[in-house]
Amino acid sequence: MSRELTQEQQAFVEAVADFCRKEVGSATEFPHDPGLYGKMAQLGWLGITMPQEYGGSGQGMAELVLFLEQTGYWQAPISGFATSVIAAAAYEKFGSDAQKQRVLTDFVNGKVLSISMSEPGAGSDVGALTCRAEKRDGGWVINGQKTWCSNAHIAEHILLVARTSTDGGKHEGLTMFDVPANTAGLQIRGIETMGGKEVNDLYFTDCRLGEDAVVGVEGRAWPQLMAGLNIERMILAGNMLGVGRRAFDDTLSYVKQREQFGRPIGKFQALRHRIADHATELECTNLLVHDVAHRMDANPGELFPREASMAKLKATEFAKAMALDGMQMLGGYGYATEYGMERLVRSTVVSTIYGGTSEIQRDIIGKTLGL
C-alpha cells in the first residue's frame, strides 16, 4: 500500500479477503451473484461511503478502494457494486431527501443501481445525447434509446441522463432522472458481449415519470456528472488494481512451477525480465491509486480530475497488459477457462473502454497540463 494502513483498515482488508476465500469459490459463474451480494450487504460493506443515516458507515475513498481491490483480486461476482456505488454517489450529492432515503437505503441493503448516459450516437461525447424528456401533465415523458448500460437488467433504480432542452450549447439542457427499473414504457434488452450479458440497450417509449423524478437541478446534469466522474474513475481504478494484481500473482505462480527444458520457465531470462517489468508496474499502480484515494479524502472539496484520470488510465492499462502477457506466458493453459486467466483477459480488456476510454483519460490529463 502507498501508506501504512490503520488497524481498522487492516482488519477490514483481512475480513474481506477471508470472506472471499471462503465464499467466492462456491459462487455462481454469473458476473453478479445476488446471494453473495446480499451477504456483503448484511456485513455492512456495500455502504462503505454512504452516510450512517442511510445505513452506511460513512468512510472514505481510501476504504472504498481497499474493498474494490480485494473483491477484484478474489474475483467476487458482484459486478453490480461498481455501478451502484457510482450512481449512489450522485444520489447522495444531488438527490432530494426522499430520493436519498429510498435509493440509498435500497443500495446499502443489497439492491443494485445503474447509470445510463451512452447512446448509439453519444459515447465519449456525452453532450451529444438525444434521449428526450418532456414536461407533460405534471410529470415527465421519456422517449429515446440508451445503450451500453451496465447492470440495468438487475437494477432497482436507473439514474438516467436525458435532454430536457435544446437551448444553449450541447452540454446545457441535460437533466438527471431517477427511473425505477420496472417503470412502464421502459424496455431493457441485453447485449451479447465476450463478457456475457452485463450491458444493455434501454428503449424508452412514452415512459412516464413523476415531477419529483428529477435528481438535482433541471438542466444541470453536465456539471453534476463532472462532479462525479472522478469518483467513477477511482472506483474503476481500485477494482482493476485488484484484478491486475491477481493476474500478476497467478502468472508468477505458474512460471515458478511450470517446467520446460529441465527447469521452471520463470528461470529463463525472457520471462524473468517480463515478470520484473510487471512487478515494477504493479508497484507504481498501487502507489498511485492509493495515494490519489487518500488525497481525495484529505481534500473533499477538490475534484482531482488529472489524478483520477491518471489512476484510471494506469490501473486499467496495467491490468490489461498484465492479463494479456499472463495468457501468453501460460501458453495454452492461459486460453483455457479452467485456469481463469482468460476471464481476467475479458474483464481487463474492456476496462480501458468503459468509464471513459484510455484516449479520453489521456486527453483530460493533457488539458489539465495546459495542452
| Per-residue model confidence (pLDDT) at position 28 | 56
Q: What is the pLDDT of residues 230-257, one digit of tens each?
A: 899 999 999 999 999 999 999 999 999 9
Which residues are catalytically annotated?
Answer: 232
Q: Are 175 and 214 in contact (CB under 8 A)?
A: yes
HSE at residue 360, side-chain half, CA atoms within 13 A, is 18
Residue 27 pLDDT exceeds 60 = no
- Residues 233 and 303: their CA atoms lie apart, in Å, by 11
**CA nearest neighbour of 202 among 81, 111, 119:** 119
The x, y and z cell numbers of residue 367, run together, are 488539458
Strand partners, 232: none
At residue 170 the predicted structure's pLDDT band, cuts being 50, 70 and 90, is confident
Q: What is the pLDDT of residues 280-308, one digit of tens each?
A: 999 999 999 999 999 999 998 898 999 99
Task: For residue 331, give the 3-state DSSP assignment.
Answer: coil
- The H-or-E segment that residue 327 falls in is helix 305-330
| Per-residue model confidence (pLDDT) at position 123 | 83
Q: What are phi and psi of 206, to 5 degrees?
A: 45, 45
Q: What is the pLDDT of residues 134-145, one digit of tens each?
A: 999 999 999 999
% of the chain beyond a pLDDT of 90? 87
Catalogue all structural domains in the chain, each as residue range(s) with its CATH number.
7-78 (1.10.540.10), 114-219 (2.40.110.10), 223-368 (1.20.140.10)
**CA nearest neighbour of 286 among 243, 349, 321, 341:** 243
| Per-residue model confidence (pLDDT) at position 148 | 94
- The H-or-E segment that residue 283 falls in is helix 269-298
The x, y and z cell numbers of residue 95, run together, are 438527490
The x, y and z cell numbers of residue 222, run together, are 453536465
Q: Are 362 and 313 in contact (CB under 8 A)?
A: yes
How many CB atoms neighbour CB 268 within 10 A?
14
The x, y and z cell numbers of residue 179, run together, are 427511473
- Mean pLDDT (whole number) for 45-59: 95
Residue 2 pLDDT exceeds 60 = no
| Per-residue model confidence (pLDDT) at position 1 | 45
At residue 26 the predicted structure's pLDDT band, cuts being 50, 70 and 90, is low
Surface-to-core class of residue 309, CB atoms within 10 Å of its CB (0-12 exposed, 13-18 middle, 19+ buried): buried
- The H-or-E segment that residue 179 falls in is strand 174-180
Task: For residue 189, give the 3-state DSSP assignment.
Answer: strand
The x, y and z cell numbers of residue 83, run together, are 455501478
Q: Are 256 and 265 in contact (CB under 8 A)?
A: no
At residue 4 the predicted structure's pLDDT band, cuts being 50, 70 and 90, is confident
State the chain's mean pLDDT as an integer.
Answer: 94
Residue 178 pLDDT exceeds 50 = yes
At residue 3 the predicted structure's pLDDT band, cuts being 50, 70 and 90, is low
Q: Which residues are CB-neighbours of 282 under 8 A, at least 6 positions away?
A: 244, 245, 248, 318, 322
Q: Which residue has the cell 444520489?
A: 91
